[in-house]
């Protein structure tokens, strides 16, 4: 078919990796909620409560004001990178490397916990003012630092993708959307942001601002350090320029081009997927407590069994496929959120309306309830 001919191996890799990152990040987020709830039960004799706003200080919940101003802040950051990239590229590269190190350590942590479980107790080791860490946390951080150093030395796209994956999972796991209202505000604003900077920025700035910032490589910090310290022409001068891990890239089967997807096109829909997964779990617990009470009479039982998470995930895949086909047809960069936002939000809104959950999901969907929870295996 025509659509199939417009999708090559690099696009297929992008599809699969982005969906796996969203699913994994969403379940890590849900498990973090369960862990926080169990800690609250251990630290207090009062009954624990399940709600959308975790008491964990490391978790950030986006409110309506932040959702409205996030596209504006992103636009300002984009303009700073466009006009002053040469001045801020080293600082930006170092900050990105530090964040990517922490995020990739978070991505590796479950694997390291599994590896160290048979031979090491879970007792934390004190490092003075730096804090206390388990053996698994130290191992995951060490591996992450090693990977970042190799990436700085080689600039390989596969290592950059690994760091971008860590950033995606960490952002999906640690950022929360509290309601469908905030989700709609955030995604609608980012859709306008994406469309403007991809389609209309060239008319104002004589260049596609989004594409230029996303594809512009930065000077390697080792090269900059070598020149600043006058270490000689053969010290630190043969390191490559770095393509920053703000995107996933995969080469085509012929090696003639790379397929690229920004991490924002994974994280922002991923936050919506995380929200609906938490709501599915909340509703399942509520129905269990009410002894399996049936849903609204105007919806069949089969429809009630369809989860919001699976519906929205399918919409994400279809939207990503549509964006890819559109980019190949027009032979130009496409704002992925132009396709992802309608294909994820509209099916979710329609299903919530048909199930009778739209009003509850729109504002403060997670009310206090006392229930037991168990961990999900990811």
Higher pLDDT, 316 or 246: 316
For residue 306, the model assigns a pLDDT of 76
For residue 375, the model assigns a pLDDT of 44
- The catalytic residue among 33, 161, 223, 265 is 265
For residue 229, the model assigns a pLDDT of 73
Q: Which helix (H) or strand (E) holds 158?
A: helix 157-174
Mean pLDDT of the 315-331 span:
89
- The catalytic residue among 8, 194, 223, 357 is 194
How far apart are alpha carbons 173 and 81 in whole angstroms?
Answer: 27
- Other Cβ atoms less than 10 A from the Cβ of 190: the count is 22
- Other Cβ atoms less than 10 A from the Cβ of 262: the count is 18
Summarised one tens digit per residue, pLDDT across range 203-214 is 999 989 998 998
Averaged pLDDT of the chain: 83
Angle, helices 135-154/85-116, rounded to nearest 10 degrees: 140
For residue 3, the model assigns a pLDDT of 39
How far apart are alpha carbons 362 and 354 in whole angstroms?
Answer: 14
For residue 99, the model assigns a pLDDT of 94
Residue 270, exposed/middle/buried by CB under 10 A (0-12, 13-18, 19+)? buried
Q: Smallest Cα–Cα separation from 103: which of 67, 58, 73?
A: 58
Summarised one tens digit per residue, pLDDT across range 135-166 is 888 999 999 999 999 999 998 999 999 999 99
For residue 374, the model assigns a pLDDT of 46
pLDDT at 15 over 70: yes
DSSP 71: H
- What percent of the chain has pLDDT above 90? 45
pLDDT at 7 over 80: no
Higher pLDDT, 236 or 167: 167
Centroid of chain to Cα 304: 28
Among 42-46, 135-139, 172-176, the least confident range: 42-46
How far apart are alpha carbons 171 and 188 in whole angstroms?
Answer: 19
- Parallel/antiparallel/unpaired status of strands 175-176 and 132-133: unpaired
How far apart are alpha carbons 172 and 56 in whole angstroms?
Answer: 15
Q: Which residues are paired to 61 by β-bridges?
A: 176
Q: Is 265 a catalytic residue?
A: yes
90 in Cβ contact with 218 (< 8 Å): yes
Q: Is 194 a catalytic residue?
A: yes
Q: Smallest Cα–Cα separation from 173: which of 273, 265, 244?
A: 273
For residue 58, the model assigns a pLDDT of 78
Structure tokens at 63: 């409110």
For residue 284, the model assigns a pLDDT of 85
3-class state of residue 75 by DSSP:
helix
Among 167-176, 182-191, 251-260, the least confident range: 251-260
Summarised one tens digit per residue, pLDDT across range 87-135 is 888 888 899 999 999 999 999 999 998 888 877 666 777 777 777 888 8
Among 140-144, 181-185, 218-222, 288-292, the least confident range: 288-292
How far apart are alpha carbons 263 and 378 in whole angstroms?
Answer: 22
282 in Cβ contact with 53 (< 8 Å): no
For residue 180, the model assigns a pLDDT of 94
Q: Which helix (H) or strand (E) holds 249?
A: strand 247-251
Give the side-chain half-sphere CA count within 13 A for 344. Answer: 31
pLDDT at 23 over 90: yes
Q: Smallest Cα–Cα separation from 312: which of 288, 346, 336?
A: 346
């Amino acid at each position: 078919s025509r659509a199939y001919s417009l999708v090559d191996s690099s696009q297929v890799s992008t599809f699969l990796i982005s969906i796996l990152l969203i699913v994994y990040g969403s379940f890590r987020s849900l498990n973090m909620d369960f862990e926080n709830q169990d800690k609250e039960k251990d630290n207090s004799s009062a009954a624990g409560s399940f709600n959308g706003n975790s008491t964990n200080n490391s978790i950030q919940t986006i409110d309506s004001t932040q959702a409205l101003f996030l596209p504006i802040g992103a636009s300002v950051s984009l303009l700073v990178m466009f006009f002053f990239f040469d001045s801020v590229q080293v600082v930006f590269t170092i900050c990105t490397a530090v964040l990517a190190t922490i995020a990739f350590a978070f991505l590796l942590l479950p694997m390291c916990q599994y590896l160290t479980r048979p031979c090491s107790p879970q007792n934390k080791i004190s490092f003075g003012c730096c804090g206390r860490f388990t053996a698994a946390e130290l191992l995951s951080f060490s591996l992450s630092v090693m990977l970042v150093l190799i990436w700085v030395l080689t600039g390989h796209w596969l290592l950059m993708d690994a760091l971008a994956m860590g950033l995606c999972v960490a952002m999906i796991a640690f950022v929360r959307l509290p309601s469908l209202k905030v989700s709609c505000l955030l995604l609608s604003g980012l859709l306008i942001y994406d469309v403007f900077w991809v389609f209309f920025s060239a008319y104002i700035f004589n260049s596609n601002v989004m594409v230029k910032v996303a594809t512009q490589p930065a000077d390697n910090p080792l090269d900059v350090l070598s020149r600043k310290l006058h270490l000689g022409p053969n010290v630190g001068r043969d390191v490559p320029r770095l393509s920053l891990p703000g995107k996933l890239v995969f080469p085509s089967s012929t090696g003639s081009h790379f397929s690229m997807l920004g991490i924002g096109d994974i994280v922002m829909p991923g936050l919506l997927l995380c929200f609906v997964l938490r709501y599915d779990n909340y509703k399942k617990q509520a129905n269990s407590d009410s002894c399996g009470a049936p849903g609204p009479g105007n919806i069949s039982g089969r429809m009630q069994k369809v989860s919001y998470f699976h519906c929205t995930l399918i919409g994400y895949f279809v939207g990503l496929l549509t964006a890819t086909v559109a980019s190949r047809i027009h032979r130009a960069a496409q704002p992925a959120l132009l396709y992802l936002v309608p294909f994820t939000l509209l099916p979710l809104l329609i299903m919530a309306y048909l199930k009778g959950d739209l009003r509850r999901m729109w504002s403060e969907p997670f009310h206090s309830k006392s229930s037991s929870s168990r961990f999900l295996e990811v």
